[in-house]
Amino acid sequence: MIETKTLTLAEIEDLSLRALMEAGTRVENARPLAKATAATEADGVASHGLAYIPIYCEHVQCGKVDGAAHPVVDQPRPGVVTVDAATGFAHPAIDAGFERLIPLARQQGIAALAIRNSYNCGVLGYHTYRLAQAGLLGIGFTNAPASIAPSGGAKPVVGTNPFSIAAPGADGEPAVLIDQSASTIAKSEVMKHARECRPIPLGWALDADGTPTTDPEIGLKGSMAPSGGYKGVGVALLTEMMAAAMTGATLGLEASPFSGTKGGPPKTGQFFIAIDPGATAGGDFADRIAALAAAIHAQDGAHLPGDGRKAKRQAAARNGVAVNVATLARIEAILG
């Protein structure tokens, strides 16, 4: 039985902020990450929430990420924004890029944001969610250190490489939010099971020979199982092309791990496309999405991608979030 303690979202954000700053992160970089951590906990994605704060802090202290980085924003073409994250956290780099991306997409109908020399961006759907809140269709890609082997092989060449799509709804919230990795499960979930000394379900990871395993430690030394077999590998390659090749970021094959202190900054990338539905669908977009959502919700037991997170988010705002006490202890140790 895992012991937990209930914290409000404000308490989670404050705790994250203080720990990141204690580790050497300047407040302008720590605040966006702390805010995202609270939102991630609210969505019920604990593997990417407070559990990552000790890792973030360790990476600032060992130099894997520059907590004092200043993202550099450029606009090389009318519809293109680029950000050099300067080996700092992804979140402040994405924030700086969105400040340019959102008005450009509204003005031109479509705009793209390419981020390089970046770091783990946490839950990708958190970022596309914000584009949908701005009334835009948000599409996002982020690459990661290699952990998925190609079809027929056993040596990892691409990361779990998530993609996300968020469609704006009439109420200012996403009507649909798709956020999924190319692997059967996010690698952070396997890492979480390893920290808690728990076996993983068969089908999550493979050993060094490509055989399914229930031992998270062996899985982490082997490879993640691609979702849908060769189709998952295809999604991973698509994301690698968008988030690494299209941004000038480091390929997952060459990126240092997001865990542990081995290697320098991973220098991975993110790529976002923001589209104003009014430019392509006129005034019918919201109605079409609403009709699609209604057809799914009309089926007993059926749900849309993002429904689960939305329900948890609403409950967390009212009741707070149950947080692993062991995780809290690790963070408190950072604060002294």
Catalytic amino acids?
47-48, 189
Q: Which positions ≥6 away from 193 have C-beta within 8 Å?
A: 199, 200, 216
Burial class (CB in 10 A: 0-12, 13-18, 19+), 119: buried
* CA dist list (Å): 56 to 77, 112, 143, 197, 230: 34, 28, 18, 21, 32
Q: Which residues does 334 contact at the CB level (< 8 Å), separation at least 6?
A: 19, 22, 23, 53, 54, 57
Report strand pairing: 72-77 vs 223-224.
unpaired
> Using CA atoms, how far apart are residues 16 and 35, in angstroms rounded to an integer?
8
DSSP state of 51: G
Residue 3 exposed, middle or buried by CB count within 10 Å (0-12, 13-18, 19+): exposed
Amino acid at 225: A
Reduced to 3 states, what is the DSSP secondary structure of residue 205? strand
What's the first-to-final CA gap in the chain, in angstroms?
27
Q: How far is CA 91 from CA 8, 95, 164, 268, 289, in A?
A: 22, 6, 16, 13, 29
